Amino acid sequence: MSIHRTAIIHPSAVIEESVEIGPYVVIGQGVTIGAGTKIGAQATLEGPDLTIGQENQIGPHAYLLSHTTLGDRNKIYPFSAIGCEPQDLKFKGEKSQLEIGHENIIRESVTINRGTSSGGGITRLGNRNMLMAYVHVAHDCLIGHETVIANSVALAGHVEVQDGAVIGGLVGIRQFCRIGKYAYVGGCTGTNKDIPPYMIASGPAYRMYVSGVNSIGLQRRGFDPSMVRDLKNVCKILYFTDLSLQEALLKIKNEFSHAPHVLELVTFIENSKTGIVGAGKEEDGEESKRRGYRGRISRQLSC
């Protein structure tokens, strides 16, 4: 164990032998730190109930708070604040949690808040995600595995980002919205609706539209070409016909009953509570037709 002489460590902290602790680090009551973890200068680890796994790298000035569980081999960069209380006026100090998995990269000045009782009491980040600088993850967010969330993205409370999704920089996601698995969200925009799995979504803030299937991203992930082809045909039915949303979904279920990934997309849409981006006449209503969303989507489809 290597502990700098200026570090301040509470007697109740449990620290494995191979941990390295830099200058002016503060480790509070009830903190547990696993083997091989390295903690940079002036980082603060507050308890109680802060558990850090093995072989993590915690950068200088990082701030980790109570009721947080960090898995193994994560890399947290300077000035990140992990496990802060939720920014919710209804929060009255009740116990809530933040769970972070393994092998995540959390860059400079990222903030991740704990959950609230109204959202199940937990915020969760899976494995092998990359959160770039200044990302904010609000209370009760659920982030899957292998996502990329670019600089200055703001996820409001209760947002779900599913496995493999990519979100471009400077994007705002409204409360309770979902980003489907392997979707790609273009930068400098915002959404107040769900973005279906496997799709590319972009456009002006809160007037986003789907422009096609995330073909390149799916190829990079090793998706079979036949699966990508199925998704392109599904995209055409959803966005390039005059069918209502219900009619389009029925047609898709009938024609692609053999394709689990397509049926998964259908289930995602059917379970939507906010509506989906570029959902068509039934979802967008008369206002969408007045603004010309349907025609614009049709012209810009690349699927």
Question: Which residues are identified as catalytic?
Answer: 139-140, 157
Helix (H) or strand (E) holding 248: helix 245-255
Report the amino acid identity of residue 186.
G
How do 209-213 and 199-202 pair as beta strands?
A: antiparallel
CA–CA distance, 256 with 127 (Å, rounded to integer): 31
Q: Name which of 134, 148, 82 is nearest 112 in CA terms.
A: 82
Structure tokens at 55: 């072989």
Chain Cα centroid distance, residue 165: 8
- Strand (E) positions, 16-109? 20-21, 26-27, 31-33, 38-39, 44-45, 50-52, 57-58, 63-64, 68-70, 75-76, 81-84, 97-100, 105-106
Tokens standing for residue 16: 């494995």
